[in-house]
Structure 1
Amino acid sequence: MKRKFLFTMLLAGGFCAAQAQEKAKPEDTEVYTPVPPEVKPGKCGAAPSDAVILFDGKNLEQWVMADDRSKPAEWTVGSGILTVNKHVGNIETKKSFTNYQLHIEWRVPSDITGSGQARGNSGVFLASLGKGDAGYELQVLDSYKNKTYTNGQAGSIYKQFVPLANPTLAPGEWNVYDVIWTAPVFAADGSLTSPARVTVLFNGVLVQNNVEVKGPTQYIGAPAYRQAHGACPIKLQAHGDKSEPLSFRNIWVREL
């Protein structure tokens, strides 16, 4: 008797749903607001119309020294590119960001020497937490036929996530990172509400797929969220290895 009752109820429910569907109109599920803003896309790697240009090949007006933000950035600009000055330290953006889309291109010299981590080592810190290498690092390294630990090769979230592929181009060619960064959120008492997340396309290849970042980068030990923070600058690393320094160009960001 119970089974018959349940069967009858299911039939009735299905009949009611079908009737409701028949009465529905296409416009019932059409949404007209909010209207997305118009953005003119860039062509051939150029920045879209709503981007903040961080480096256009001319100067470092958007950058300061990371260890002393009162000082202008002291890396080398020439021939439309930005080259790491390993002797002065890291640089970071004057402006701080929360969630964003980042485009950045980098290249190691064609005659680069060294091996492993001592071969074009740098990093893009997606949120800088102050002096030194504090922050969340997307590794930059010549990983073209260069063996090293896989969670430290190009495209890795350093010491946390191995890239899904290795699309690194040969030395002398320009590599491209396109990054979607979602910043961590903290409660008023400093506890973590939601961790950072990041997606990375490396030369058009997906290498990090919306991974949940475990905390700021740790060279030794496990990462963890120990410091609540808000919007942060984006930092570029002067690693200090013995190989020839690498260069950057065409850096822009869209706030999300």
Structure 2
Amino acid sequence: MKSLIALCSLLITAPGFAQGVGYDDTPRIPGQEWKVHDKSRPNPPVVDPGPAPRTIAPAPSDATVLFDGSALDAWQHADGSSAKWQLIEGHAMQVLPGSGDIQTRETFGDVQLHLEFATPEKVEGESQGRGNSGVFFFGVYEIQILDSYNNKTYADGQAASIYGQYPPLVNASRKPGEWQTYDIVFEAPRFDDEGELERPAFVTVLHNGVLVQSHRALIGATQHRNAPSYQVHDAAGPIKLQDHGNTMRFRNIWVRPLKLDIVVDDDADDDGDVED
């Protein structure tokens, strides 16, 4: 009986059970009931997105190809030096851990982005330490990349989350080592001449063809363990891929700059929420 009681106590206190994975000492997310990386926030349901694509689909005719497997010429580190990530398999690039994030030499505003990634086939680590990267618009607005296949973590930090803000509608992750896709429409925030926010950024994300973020208004720039907020920036910025210490692979990355007929909503408040 004592051993049974001890086991039950262990299950209650272990991460991933009643306490969850995440934090309880972080600030509340503006406009939400949840804290940043809240360990009590429910994880989204899991769906099977189907098998990985067998072939690499060509980019649309009006797309700017950022990576086709042949070279890293479109990418650089933040200091302007050439990207040090590795070319592998004849069609992919792999994070060189410790070399740093890479970002596009060209800058973009409103875009449609397609990228394909694979987390390491050999599973190492857990939660945020397993198959971690991210794609950042303007270098500051992150869509999380993570191995979220049977990997418990905080809801707003799993694959296809708007990191620190919104979990995906569902978890559409494939197994480690399998190729996955993100198709993202990003609408840049608008600032007035005084640098005040006129309209928040919006993002729509399909993960492996499954809708996981539907025209979400971003609350601000990505923060870890802190509430997001906006800081004025240029009308165009780089797209960044994160070196988080894992040997992530990427392939077939292209972007379509969009000319959207954006109407600034005077009812958008400073937190990025749109009032009804």
Q: Distance in 1 between matches of 2:210 and 2:232?
A: 32
1:65 counterpart = 2:67:
no
* Offset at residue 78 of structure 1 (A): 1.8
1:50 counterpart = 2:82:
no
Q: Which residue of 2 aligns with 1:206?
A: 211
Point out 4+ residue stretches in structure 1 off by more than 4 angstroms. Answer: none
Secondary structure of 1:231's partner?
A: coil
Q: Which residue of 1 aligns with 2:254?
A: 252
Say whether the 8 Å CA contact 1:192–1:228 is kept in structure 2: no
Q: Which residue of 2 aligns with 1:148?
A: 153
Q: What code does the residue aligned with 1:251 have?
A: I
User: What is the root-mean-square deviation of aligned Cα atoms in Å?
Assistant: 1.1
Secondary structure of 2:205's partner?
A: strand
Instruction: State TM-score, norm by structure 1.
Output: 0.77
Q: Which residue of 2 aligns with 1:112?
A: 123
* Offset at residue 229 of structure 1 (A): 2.7
Superposed, 1:72-111 pairs within 5 Å as: 72-79=82-89, 80-111=91-122
Q: Distance in 2 between matches of 1:117 and 1:231?
A: 30
Instruction: State TM-score, norm by structure 2.
Output: 0.72
Q: Distance in 2 between matches of 1:73 and 1:197?
A: 29
* Offset at residue 230 of structure 1 (A): 1.8
Q: Distance in 2 between matches of 1:73 and 1:181?
A: 24
Aligned residues between the structures: 203
Q: Which residue of 2 aligns with 1:40?
A: none
Say whether the 8 Å CA contact 2:101–2:240 is kept in structure 1: yes
Kindly indicate which of the two structures has a greater share of residues assigned to helix.
1
Superposed, 1:1-256 pairs within 5 Å as: 45-66=57-78, 68-69=79-80, 71-79=81-89, 80-128=91-139, 135-240=140-245, 244-256=246-258
Write out per-residue CA displacement over residues 155-179 of structure 1, whole angstroms, 9 at most, x where no aligned residue. 1000001100001000110010000
* Offset at residue 110 of structure 1 (A): 1.4
Q: What code does the residue aligned with 2:69 have?
A: G
Q: Distance in 1 between matches of 2:198 and 2:234?
A: 12
Q: What code does the residue aligned with 2:234 have?
A: H
Write out per-residue CA displacement over residues 27-75 of structure 1, whole angstroms, 9 at most, x where no aligned residue. xxxxxxxxxxxxxxxx963200010000000100100112x02x11110
Q: What code does the residue aligned with 2:255 have?
A: V
Q: Distance in 2 between matches of 1:207 and 1:253?
A: 19
